[in-house]
Structure 1
């Protein structure tokens, strides 16, 4: 292994720890047209890094940087696998598709893949990958200022008075940095290109068809792959499902947070007011929401210094951002409750530990490039001013953030192709699993994916709270439905509800 590949492998362990459309149809690119010459067979070797299953092996695959020029410059895609545990009953490959954009599944065969039931591990090679741009695949980097790596900047919260002027200044600064430092590869980051990379990987694995378990943004990747290469798919699980709106794509995902918070807050309030809870913040569930709103408003006016954090103050938007992050799983509720209790007392907890700056730079660049290349964002400030004002009035908990301008509002290039429209054309081999209360991918958006897929899909809705339903924040009923489908191909006869 070269020194360059070795350093990428080391960085990947840190990246895995981080990762927490215009109307029209993208012209399908066939497997042969997408790739030019056929991909070479993968050469597997031991993976580097700690905490990995000793059975996991790694390889790299060269893919075209630009699929419109398939014989032009290439980029590396890092892949991993754990072979099926019973070769005699092996069915094929189960591709693990991470969320993001900016997430990696490279170590997932050793991680979440080992939570799969035995009959699934027996039947499938578990395969992960680092998407194009994400180390240890050929990486990109925007060279952003330290302050612009703060999560409350990447998700652009309006000023306390609702102004978006500062956000647009930030968007221009960040977009300019990506254009200046991102190189040519950042212009070729997109969901459609990730889907094409997956098909190159399928071919390199020697598989006629491939199964997949996509989570969060990975559900959109899986849906796009199934649209571009429908007859290359076997059993497809979409878990915690994105809205496939072809006019807005990621703008719709960002907007969904306002409803996701509303769906989830009552569950948090009941937990945060429960007698005997050491992190209790109020005596009654009805008191938790007004308390949160009062604290956020007070921190807007009077931020508390927070040395070591980014930004180095606890302000209203940092509190709101913490709410979004903790609502992804009820196990994280204590983080928000403790921050609220500290803010009430005018103090702060220890600063949260941040990933290495190089990792944040890489993950942020991949996310930015993918989101901004998938669909054109409005450049007019008026669009965001109107949306933020409406959102703040209707959804005060999220203070207008979900309809605000992120760096894509100032992205210097236009998308190279229209977003893929998800349709009901293709085999009926998709199972959606969706928690009823999911802050990041609300049920309402999942229902739109279900509608778009039509006869191709069945959806299992789970009476549970949190992001990532299957084998994480769902329930036994939902888990059993997904496991049965992966192991046997059997889906519910119709959409189902798991109480």
Structure 2
């Protein structure tokens, strides 16, 4: 049975740095910075426990905090390795990223194996996971958010009216100021996609590899696109799954979440309609949609067990990531319809553990998401811009538009971007395989098409007739699985863009 993994979710949010290995100095390749080679050792106990029964090795790699001063202050990044199972077939390393930004990837290799990653891949690659800068065991950062903080999620709350936007602006400004007040070591401004891509190349060099392959999900596609553009000479086989559409998340990208929900919600509505006798949410998809709007409106006026209309909409959005989450979502709706406070409390307690775009009480994950997102690109600072956007998207995307267009702390972020966002480079080898489900709540199909256009002939797009977040290994489509495995193992890139029919 597959272990379920929500792509982009924080796999392990760790508060204490651990040394998984030591470093010994080895000669660097010509033209590259002198980078100590990795000496592998045991992983921290909690990482090992999460990965079990798969056994991983861990180590640390030192990188500059500020690449403008490469010989200045260094930070340690913790990395993991699942060594290639067949040394005779080994062709290199495959770096992994689960998304976020803010997701821990130390145990991702083991979780992908548990999901069914083909042995033809694990035979040929050392799978390299990591906590990227600022996350978990890699110089973790903190804004000091707590579970009762008014800022509690990466997506702003649904604004039922104009007054709610103005109220959220105060929360967003307070959150940005809290981050500034807690940034005692000045690290937050150095959390960017470009710097993380530079870190990947330092890790590649420390591993003694001329090139690295890469598999990234969700925000991991932005990181992978940045790496392939900044270091095309070191990028081997690149797989980007569930694309956000660029090397950064900006306001337009977040507003596309609402489009994704509109496109994905009908799958749940059809599922629920077929089970009306069990859940009572509507006998037709149209009735299920009407139930959603009715429940959300009622909770705007009278929350149940602490779940208001904004939280209900956010929980619904997050549970569209995987069809296996539909029964839990239906239970939540049922509890709301019946006003069952005891059931609602139990369900919300479980659902608050969801990550990447849903509820996240984890301070570290929230801090990294904010820092990278706000540092990568300028966001509008005028509250009226967000007021207009909320009004527009409440009409365009009634299910969730008034949330994703709402104001974020990036409008008040204390640091200006240190450099322009990484521009995707269409010049380079044809080595970028893009995977995109046609219905995905957080990364709609449009994101894959955008990245395909920007990469030009360097990329091929595989569009999958499936619903949910994640296509390769994390989905159930045989065409997507086979196409990607062939590319990673044999280097066989589709001759043209491909459509995978539903199984």
Give the TM-score, by structure 2 length: 0.88
User: For residues 334-375 of structure 1, what are the alpha-carbon distances to aligned partners after superposition, in whole Å with 9 as ceiling and x for unaligned?
Assistant: 222111111111123213235599971111111111111001
Contact 1:299 1:316 (C-alpha < 8 Å) held by counterparts: yes
Q: Which residue of 1 aligns with 2:135?
A: 134
**Equivalent residue, structure 2, for 1:148:** 149
Q: Does 1:60 align with 2:53?
A: no
Q: CA deviation at 1:277?
A: 6.7
1:329 corresponds to which residue? 322
1:56-455 to 2 correspondences below 5 Å:
56-113=56-113, 115-148=116-149, 151=152, 153-163=153-163, 164-182=165-183, 183-244=185-246, 249-275=249-275, 278-304=278-304, 306=305, 313-348=306-341, 349=343, 350=346, 351-353=348-350, 354=352, 360-455=362-457
Describe the SS at the equivalent of 1:59. Answer: strand
Aligned 8 A contact 1:458 1:492 in 2? yes
TM-score by length of 1: 0.89
- CA displacement at 1:261 relative to structure 2: 0.8
Q: 1:158 Cα deviation (Å)?
A: 4.1
Task: For residue 118 of structure 1, report the CA deviation from its aligned partner.
Answer: 1.2
**Structure 1 unpaired stretches of 5+:** 1-11, 17-30, 307-312
Alpha-carbon distance, 1:74 to partner: 0.8
**Residues 277 and 222 of structure 1: CA distance in aligned 2, closer, same or farther (over 3 Å):** farther
1:144 deviates by 2.2
- Structure 2 distance, partners of 1:358, 1:240, is 21
Contact 2:12 2:104 (C-alpha < 8 Å) held by counterparts: no
User: Does the 8 Å CA contact 2:96/2:127 hold for their aligned counterparts?
Assistant: yes
Alpha-carbon RMSD across the aligned residues, in angstroms, is: 2.2
Give the Cα separation in 1 of the matches to 2:68 and 2:458: 29
* Shift in alpha-carbon separation, 1:32–1:134, aligned structure 2, 3 A: farther
Give 1:137 deviation, angstroms: 0.9
* Distance in structure 1 (CA, Å) of the matches to 2:310 and 2:417: 31
Shift of 1:147: 2.9
SS at match of 2:149: helix
Bigger mean CA deviation after superposition, 195-204 or 131-140: 131-140
Distance 1:365 1:462, change over 3 A: same
| Cα pair 1:15 1:359 within 8 Å, conserved | no
What is the distance in 1 between the residues matched to 2:206 and 2:473? 29
- Secondary structure (helix, strand or coil) at the match of 1:235 reads strand
Superposed CA offset, 1:376-405 (max 9, x none):
111101110111100011111114111111
Q: 1:103 to 1:497 in 2, by over 3 A?
A: same
Distance in 2 (alpha carbons) for counterparts of 1:293 and 1:230:
47
Deviation at 1:172, TM superposition (A): 1.0
Contact 2:223 2:247 (8 Å CA) reproduced? no
Deviations 1:215-252 (A, max 9, x none): 00000100000000011011000011111177xx3323
- 1:27 paired residue number: none
| Counterpart in the other structure of 1:6 | none
Moved more, 100-109 or 49-58: 49-58
Matched length:
463
Structure 2: runs of 5 or more not aligned: 1-9, 15-28
Stretch moving more, 424-433 or 139-148: 139-148
Distance 1:124-1:245 versus aligned 2 partners, 3 A rule: closer
**SS state at 1:378 partner:** coil
